[in-house]
Structure 1
Amino acid sequence: MTANRIQQVALAHFAEHGYAETSLAMIAEEVGIKKPSIYAHFKSKDDLFLRVVQNVFQSELDYITKLAEANREMPLKQLLPLMLTTYQERYDTHPDMKFMLRTSFFPPAGMEQEVMERLYTYLDTLEKYVASRISAAVQAGEIADVNAEQAATAFLCLLDGFFVELLYGGPERASRRLEAAWLFFWRGLS
């Protein structure tokens, strides 16, 4: 129970303040334990951070794939924008998504490789899923005969740009850019 609570509190602090500005003392105080008690569950701040990274990336991947699977019958033209707007909603309301994006773009010094491995696992899995949905849409005649892998890669590029705008430009700018990019992306598929 305490290890989970430590991770929850750490996530909130890392999402809000970043790795460097979050101390184990801050986390321990909010959890209601002494700082040395954290070491009963985690070897170091780095260990705690990487466990949070692993859990968040997996949790976010599970969330978006479950959303897509729950809407399996939805036309691709509606499903892909739903996925994109869901990312924005989660960014605005869930520390998990904010943490995931902040960590992906600004991994702590010395942990870049570990963070990038988890990020690329996330993105590669998402890309394969999107490619399978695009392939099914091609077979159903919903969209033009396109290379599903290339179309999925293009979708991930659109997603990357959207994520950057969420971090730097805010929700209004992100929505405006997404709307324009989506229009041209969809024209390429149809």
Structure 2
Amino acid sequence: MNRSDQILTVALEHFADKSYEGASLSGIALQVGIKKASIYNHFNHKEELFLSVAKHVYRLYINEIERTLANHHHLASKEKIFIITETMTDFLSNEEEGKFYMHFLLFPPLHLKDKVHEQFLQFEHECDQLLSPIFEEIASTYEISHLSLRDLLDAFYCLLDGITSQMFYYHPDIALRKRQTSLALFWTGVINTD
């Protein structure tokens, strides 16, 4: 791992645990084992480091989706949706990446809100590109013409957000039960709507 990646990894932990305001470049540098001034060799200021961490988390998330799709390309669309839902909600409920993603997506630092939102829209566009073929296959296989691709993706993202929130609140066994039930009802609703 190169120095920039080390800084990003430690900064992710600090931002997730201490918030944007609570995280300090001094604390990050100390944990990395460098002087605070050395951070500036890689990132111009705290805002740039934060936005780089956000981009890093998005990239980790996209990589996880790509890996899951590559490993399960042979499955039918229903099984793909179930597995990708598990992958995405497991990632988002991960202690550091998930905490960072869920907190700063909903409550970014005010002065970085527009930049965080811009990054998120780019990330969602990448997710759309990865997931669209699955939902196109579902629409074709089950002759779903009354819902657009955008409708299906929007409903799916809302499902993911809801499941992920539940995974933070409940004991893992209860959260997994809720995930399975929600996903089964989502599937039934999509397939059986008129």
Distance 1:189 1:127 in 2: 18
Paired position in structure 2 for 1:145: 144
Distance 1:97 1:64 in 2: 14
Paired position in structure 2 for 1:44: 45
SS in structure 2 at match of 1:73:
coil
1:119 is matched by which residue type in structure 2?
F
Which has the higher mean CA deviation after the structures are superposed, 7-16 or 164-173? 164-173
C-alpha deviation, 1:33, in angstroms: 1.4
2:28 is matched by which residue type in structure 1?
I
Tell me the alpha carbon deviations over residues 27-55 of structure 1, each in whole angstroms, 9 at most, x when there is no partner: 01111112122122211111111111112
Tell me the alpha carbon deviations over residues 111-154 of structure 1, each in whole angstroms, 9 at most, x when there is no partner: 11111111122223223432321212333x3x342435122221
The RMSD of aligned alpha carbons is 2.2
> How many matched pairs?
188
Paired position in structure 1 for 2:20: 19
Q: How does 1:40-79 map to 2 (within 5 A)?
A: 40-79=41-80
Q: TM-score, normalised by structure 2?
A: 0.84
Aligned 8 A contact 1:104 1:115 in 2: yes
Which has the higher mean CA deviation after the structures are superposed, 174-183 or 30-39? 174-183
C-alpha deviation, 1:163, in angstroms: 2.7
C-alpha deviation, 1:8, in angstroms: 1.4
Q: How does 1:112-127 map to 2 (within 5 A)?
A: 112-127=113-128
Distance 2:130 2:148 in 1: 10
Aligned 8 A contact 2:61 2:88 in 1: no
C-alpha deviation, 1:94, in angstroms: 5.8
Unmatched tracts of structure 2, length 5 or more: none
Q: Say if 2:130 is the partner of 1:129.
A: yes
C-alpha deviation, 1:13, in angstroms: 1.4
Paired position in structure 2 for 1:32: 33
Q: Say if 2:176 is the partner of 1:175.
A: yes
Paired position in structure 2 for 1:185: 186
Q: Calculate percent identity across the aligned residue pairs.
A: 28
2:144 is matched by which residue type in structure 1?
D
SS in structure 1 at match of 2:110:
coil
Which has the higher mean CA deviation after the structures are superposed, 93-102 or 15-24? 93-102
